[in-house]
Amino acid sequence: MSDVAMNDLSETPVRTRATDAKTVLAVEDLCTDFRTKAGSVRAVDGVSFELKAGEILAIVGESGSGKSVTSLSIMGLIPEPPGRIAGGRVFFDGQDLTKLTDRQLQKLRGSSLSMIFQEPMTSLNPVLSIGRQMTEGIRQHLGMSADQARRHAVEMMRRVSIPAPEHRLKEYPHQFSGGMLQRIMIAIAMSCNPKVLIADEPTTALDVTIQAQILELMQELRDMTGAAIMLITHDMGVVAETADRVIVMYAGQKIEEGSVEEVFRAPRHPYTLGLLGALPRLGQAGAVGDTELNEIPGVVPPLTDLPPGCRFSDRCSYATDKCRAETPPLETKRPGHIAACWHSDELESPT
């Protein structure tokens, strides 16, 4: 992400590698509610987006912004009660996932729709061998024999660069490091050729060098298989390194969406600007923010007590009375770049 590269891209409408590819997952106006003691709370509020084949889409936001609930809603993993998908549709493979029965969803999960989690250390069953856990899904979804499945598992382990896979198949999770386990989780998730892989903060629990390796691995696998990846993270650095497109969420709503280049070069929402400003940078004043590490004042408002109008207005330095009264609509600010802010045009363009 050097300045030069960004300047080159500045005037041409940004195209991700996947613009022309077909949409594999379309989320329309998704709403997810949770019942709490303080009443019903809308954790995801009218979120829509599309995911195209071979694309890496990052969903960014603070804790409590609804990014994880979005992914869980797509997978049909919202515990019911207290949760409930209150509205919207999730189109995948020509069917609406929110209308499928448990059994139908179970067929999709792990085969064409798979997911990896934040904590690789606890995501594998401690009492089952790696081989057992790898072949389980392969046998179920691809209908292979035990022997075929074992060979397929070895192949997958090789693909995620695990040395001596035949030997390591017999070992148990505690014999692996965190980075290795996340590789194995990825191998399991990719073993049935999914069309969509949802990665919920896959690198948060790992140290930085391993983090880079895992992200690189995910990109490689995407290139190899053409799977679409939905990457949930709170780390703008991860987004910049990995994703093609980014969605920024705040208090349950999508507030900005665009290609990574666009959004990083000229964010159209003060919250995104704030997130980018909070990124530590080496050397002189970076493209965004100051030499000092900036922070966004305040915290995400509790979902039970949202301000009227724009939900970010309490913390926003651009906020006017209009912001506090009226909710800004999501508007196309530039081709392929939408944001929900009354003051998009006033945002200082970094650089």
User: Which residues contact other proteins (rule: CB under 8 A)?
Assistant: 75, 77, 106-111, 114-117, 119, 122-128, 133, 136-137, 140-141, 163-164, 167-168, 170, 175, 185, 188-189
Give dist(CA 163, CA 158) in Å, integer.
7
Nearer to other proteins, 117 or 312 (CB): 117
43 or 319: CB nearest other proteins: 43
Do residues 60 and 248 touch, judged by C-beta distance below 8 A? yes
User: Minimum Å distance from CB 137 to other proteins?
Assistant: 5
- We find the least distance from the C-beta atom of residue 190 to other proteins, in angstroms, to be 12
Find the shortest distance in angstroms from Cβ 76 to other proteins.
10
Cβ neighbour number for residue 221 with a 10 Å cutoff: 20
**Residue closer to other proteins (CB basis): 145 or 291:** 145
Distance, in Å, from the CA atom of 22 to the CA atom of 165, rounded to the nearest integer, reads: 35
The string of DSSP letters for 264-295 reads HHS-SSHHHHHHHHTS--SSSS-SSS-SSPP-
H-helix segments, 198-269 = 208-225, 236-242, 260-265
CA–CA separation, 92 and 95 (whole Å): 5
Tokens for 11, please give them.
Answer: 């005037």
Q: How far is the CB of 54 from other proteins (least distance, A)?
A: 22
CB of 290 to other proteins, least distance (A): 39
134: nearest Cα among 172, 106, 102: 172
Judged by beta carbon, residue 122 or residue 291, the one nearer other proteins is 122
Q: How far is the CB of 168 from other proteins (least distance, A)?
A: 8
Please say which residue, 7 or 175, places its beta carbon nearer to other proteins: 175
Q: Which CB sits closer to other proteins, 68 or 259?
A: 68
